[in-house]
Amino acid sequence: MTPLHKSTTRDYLARVNDPDFPKAKAAELAKNWGFDYWDGDRRINYGGYNYMEGRWEPVARLMAEHYHLKPGDKVLDIGCGKGYLMYDLTKVVPGLDVRGFDVSRYAIENAKPEMRHLIDEGSAVALPYDDREFDFAYSLNTLHNLYSYELEPALRELERIAKKKYLCVESYRSEVEKVNLLYWQVTCEQFNTPKEWQWWFERCGYSGDHSFIYFE
C-alpha cells in the first residue's frame, strides 16, 4: 500500500483551512459515505473515485503472490468500496472467487459493474459469513474508521471468517505524523501508534498480517 499512498501529494494546511470546506465540514460530509465522500469535491475526499487501469494491479499481484492465491480460492475484501481491487485480483488470478463488503450503499450502487453483484452491505462489526469461510480476507484503510467499541468486534470478526488475513491501517510514529494525520483525515477515529495497534491486535486475538501507512 505504501507506494500508492505516497503517490499522492498533500497540502495539509490547505485541507484544514479551506474556506468552502473547512475540516469539520468536510468530515461531516465524508462520514455519510455517499456521493460527497467518493465523487464530490476533492476538498472533501476523493474528488471522483474512478477505475484506473493498472492502478490496483501491482497491489493485487503482490497480494496474490504473497498469499499464494489460486483459482477457486475464496477471497473477501472488507471495506471494498467500488470493488476495484477485487476486480484486479480476478485479472491477476483468473478463477478467483472474490466477494466484497462495504458500509456504503452509494459505493456498492456505483461499483465496477462486474463486481457490483458480489458486494454485500453492512458494518464490519458483524460479518454475515461462516467461520473460516474464506481462504483469505483483507481490509485496507478501513478499520481505523471505527470507534473503539466497534474495533474489537471487527477485529474478532476478521479473525473468525478467514484462514489467512491481512489489514492495513493508518498510524503515526511522531508528532509531525500525528498532526499530518489529524489534518488530512476526514473519517479516521483510531489515532494509534504502532505499539497501540499491536495492543489492539493482541487484545482481540487477531493473528493475521498487518501494515501501516504514515502521513510523513
Tens digit of each residue's pLDDT (9 = 90 or more) over 164-194: 999 999 999 999 999 999 999 999 999 999 9
In whole angstroms, what separates CA 51 from the centre of its chain?
16
- Give residue for cell 474495533: 151
Q: What is the full DSSP assignment across 119-178? A: EEES-TTS--S-TT-EEEEEEES-GGGS-HHHHHHHHHHHHHHEEEEEEEEE--SSHHHH
Quick one: cell of 5?
A: 499512498
- Give residue for cell 481462504: 135
Whole-number Å distance between alpha carbons of 87 and 104: 18
Band (pLDDT 50/70/90 cuts) for residue 7 is low
Predicted confidence at residue 153, as pLDDT, reads 98
Domain boundaries 2-213, corresponding CATH code: 3.40.50.150
Amino acid identity, position 194? P
pLDDT digits over 34-83, tens only? 999 999 999 999 999 999 999 999 999 999 999 999 999 999 999 999 99
Per-residue pLDDT for 8 more than 80?
no
pLDDT digits over 111-165, tens only? 999 999 999 999 999 999 999 999 999 999 999 999 999 999 999 999 999 999 9
Domain boundaries, the chain: 2-213
Q: Does 14 or 127 have the greater pLDDT score?
A: 127
